[in-house]
């Protein structure tokens, strides 16, 4: 019997079989325990490389996984699920991205992962941008007369970390997990202007609430009533007008994301 | 046999194909001498070939599974032959590795949704795996390489893989295996991946310059450089990173002794790879090969 082929076949089987991630009798017999861990990481590495096709949509997420030294743990953990998905055939990008988001969120919620929630924020950010770029002009909000408009489609997201600092640090190569892991919630408004330029601004909670009321129908008076209904009687027309004017100014001053 | 010189240069400099390449070829028309394109990419979509215009192409491959017991399926081999002819590649770069493997009993345990090769039913890793470095595998590689070169009618370069796990039953090191290959088959030609050599050195606690000194460099036709990253206390291939300084140092040492026909920068995992870095590193490689 050709033992070389047995060894190579067992390695190939381990690397391609979802159910063998944590236990393979044959691999246990062939390898020392530290080598088995190397083999498992290799499986994670192969899974990582197979995600290169979606890297262009989520480059910062992938960079952060790398810098925070949790890359192989993540891809190893999701490799069984990924292999089952891949066995069905070529994976369209949108389906792959959705799968990736679910896989990451599940991994972070099930494991104690240092930096996990930061990675979730970064991924959510990149996916919002990705989807925002796909907004079709014809699908944009139709504005009725007197309805509040700021000249841009807005998507709002609340993050549990100081995302803008984290992304700046990531870009400059100075991402410090110890510093960035400190939670510092922020609201970000993703603004797609009519000329197609995409701008990102940080907004406070009140501004975020005001922006969330823009629906192509509500006038400023309607918005005042909405706030009053929720116990915020101090929010008047002048305050809202100032808020929206400030947002419009921020949008015009901020550069494209 | 056709000349191995590319673009009439003693040592040509090229880039592995990525989405940014077509635009780079337009904006920096004199930057590189060729583009290296994987066979597997062209199988799915030949537009990469069209997008490089008249730029010479070198074909890279990860489908022969040279060290494995499952040869390439007939239809794929036929397509490979077609694409070799279409690209007019001077050689085919292939990995000293296995991609497919099957248990000798021919009764693989296919339970639980494994990823299998659709043509052969073998386990298909979908990635190159450094083989067992043994006499049995050496014999197989010698046989497979000879047959591949006879069949396709051009040199098939063997590329050293990064060593992540040493397979049980190995009786020699990777460099010893490759040296013995060249001793037993002097016409063997090699693709020296300096990143893989560095990764192998790091993961096995060796000095990479010592490995290079023992490597049969006279057989080297092409050289690869790429980045690597350290994760979970191991070194890993990473074509989304720039090559570290040590690889340029190794290239300098190499070029003082031999003149390979081509040096390829593999910056092809990230379509957003910073072009400034690409340009700088191509210039750096040119500086080294022109001096060497």
Kindly report, residue by residue over B191-241, the tens digit of the pLDDT. Answer: 999 999 999 999 999 999 999 999 999 999 999 999 999 999 999 999 999
Does residue B113 surpass a pLDDT of 50?
A: no
Give the pLDDT score at B221: 97
B108 to A84: CB separation less than 8 angstroms, yes or no: no
**B227-243 exposure pattern, b = at least 16 Cβ within 10 A, e = fewer:** bbbebbebbbbbbbbbb
Q: Does B104 touch chain A (CB under 8 A)?
A: yes
Return the axis-axis angle of helices A33-49 and A3-16, rounded to nearest 10°.
Answer: 60
| Whether A222 contacts A237, CB under 8 Å | no
Stretch B271-284: mean pLDDT? 96
B127 to A6: CB separation less than 8 angstroms, yes or no: no
Tell me how many residue pairs between chain A and chain B have CB atoms under 8 A apart: 139
Give the pLDDT score at A183: 66
Query: Distances in Å between the alpha carbon of A112 and those of A73, A78, B223?
Result: 11, 15, 42
Give the pLDDT score at A82: 94
Give the pLDDT score at B1: 46
Q: Does B113 touch chain A (CB under 8 A)?
A: yes
Q: What is the mean pLDDT of chain B?
A: 93
Least confident span in A192-206, B143-157, B174-188: A192-206
In chain B, which residue's Cα lies nearest the Cα of A36?
B165
Q: Where are the beta strands (DSSP E) in B116-231?
A: 123-129, 156-159, 190-193, 220-225, 227-231
Give the pLDDT score at B146: 97
| Whether A99 contacts A86, CB under 8 Å | no
CA torsion, ordered A69, A70, A75, A78, to nearest 10 deg: 180
Stretch B106-130: mean pLDDT? 71
Phi, psi of B61 (to 5 degrees): -145, 150
Chain B CB contacts of A12 under 8 Å are: 98, 100-101, 122-125, 129
Residue A154: CB atoms within 10 Å: 19
Query: Distances in Å between the alpha carbon of B163 and those of A98, A128, B97, B182, B290?
Result: 33, 39, 10, 20, 31
A12 to B125: CB separation less than 8 angstroms, yes or no: yes
Q: Does B89 touch chain A (CB under 8 A)?
A: no
Question: Which parts of chain A have pLDDT scores under 70?
Answer: 1-2, 135-140, 177-183, 255-257
Interacting residues of B227 by C-beta distance below 8 A, sequence separation 6+: B195, B238, B239, B240, B241, B242, B243, B244, B267
Half-sphere exposure of A108 (CA within 13 A, CB side): 17
Stretch B164-176: mean pLDDT? 96
Stretch B80-103: mean pLDDT? 95
Q: Does B132 touch chain A (CB under 8 A)?
A: yes
Q: Which of A7, A16, A32 to mutate to test the interface with B (most CBs of B within 10 A)?
A: A16
Give the pLDDT score at A180: 57
In chain B, which residue's Cα lies nearest the Cα of A10?
B103
The residue ranking higher by pLDDT, A111 or B29, is B29
């Amino acid at each position: 019997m050709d033992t070389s082929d047995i060894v190579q076949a067992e390695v190939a089987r381990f690397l391609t079989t979802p159910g063998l991630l944590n236990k393979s009798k044959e691999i246990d017999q062939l390898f020392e325990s530290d080598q088995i861990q190397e083999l498992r990481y290799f499986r994670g590495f192969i899974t990582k490389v197979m995600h290169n096709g979606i890297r262009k949509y989520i480059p910062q997420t992938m960079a952060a996984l790398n810098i925070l030294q949790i890359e192989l743990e993540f891809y190893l953990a999701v490799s069984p699920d990924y292999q089952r998905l891949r066995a069905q055939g070529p994976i369209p990008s949108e389906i792959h991205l959705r799968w990736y988001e679910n896989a990451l969120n599940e991994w972070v919620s099930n494991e104690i992962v240092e930096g996990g929630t930061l990675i979730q924020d970064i991924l959510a950010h990149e996916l919002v941008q990705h989807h925002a770029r796909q907004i079709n002009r014809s699908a944009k909000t139709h504005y009725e007369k007197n309805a509040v408009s700021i000249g841009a489609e807005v998507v709002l997201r609340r993050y549990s970390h100081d995302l803008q600092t984290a992304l700046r640090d990531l870009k400059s190569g100075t991402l410090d997990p110890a510093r960035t892991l400190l939670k510092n919630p922020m609201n970000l408004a993703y603004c797609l202007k009519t000329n197609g330029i995409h701008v990102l601004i940080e907004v406070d909670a009140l501004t975020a609430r005001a922006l969330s009321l823009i629906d192509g129908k509500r006038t400023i008076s309607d918005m005042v009533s909405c706030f009053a209904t929720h116990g915020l009687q101090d929010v008047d027309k002048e305050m809202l007008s100032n808020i929206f004017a400030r947002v419009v100014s921020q949008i015009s001053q901020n550069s494209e994301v | 046999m056709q000349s191995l010189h590319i673009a009439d240069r003693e040592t040509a400099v090229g880039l592995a194909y990525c989405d940014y390449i077509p635009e780079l070829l337009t904006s920096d028309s004199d930057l590189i001498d060729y583009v290296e394109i994987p066979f597997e990419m062209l199988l799915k979509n030949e537009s990469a070939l069209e997008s490089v215009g008249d730029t010479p192409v070198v074909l890279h491959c990860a489908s022969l599974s040279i060290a494995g017991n499952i040869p390439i399926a007939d239809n794929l081999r036929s397509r490979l032959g077609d694409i070799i002819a279409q690209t007019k590649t001077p050689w085919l770069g292939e990995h000293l590795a296995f991609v497919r493997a099957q248990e000798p009993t021919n009764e693989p345990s296919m339970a639980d949704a494994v990823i299998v090769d659709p043509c052969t039913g073998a386990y298909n890793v979908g990635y190159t795996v450094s083989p067992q470095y043994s006499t049995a595998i050496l014999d197989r590689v010698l046989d497979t390489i000879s047959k591949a070169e006879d069949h396709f009618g051009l040199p098939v370069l063997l590329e050293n893989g990064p060593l992540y796990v040493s397979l049980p039953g190995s009786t020699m090191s990777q460099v010893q295996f490759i040296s013995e290959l060249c001793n037993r088959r002097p016409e063997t030609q090699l693709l020296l991946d300096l990143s893989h050599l560095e990764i192998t050195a790091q993961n096995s606690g060796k000095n990479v310059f010592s490995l290079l000194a023992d490597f049969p460099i006279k057989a080297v036709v092409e050289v690869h450089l790429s980045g690597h990253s350290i994760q979970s206390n191991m070194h890993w291939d990473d074509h989304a990173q720039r090559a570290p300084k040590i690889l340029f140092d190794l290239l300098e040492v190499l070029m003082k002794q031999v003149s390979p026909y081509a040096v390829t920068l593999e910056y092809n995992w990230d379509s957003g790879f910073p072009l400034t870095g690409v340009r700088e590193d191509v210039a750096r490689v040119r500086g080294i090969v022109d001096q060497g």
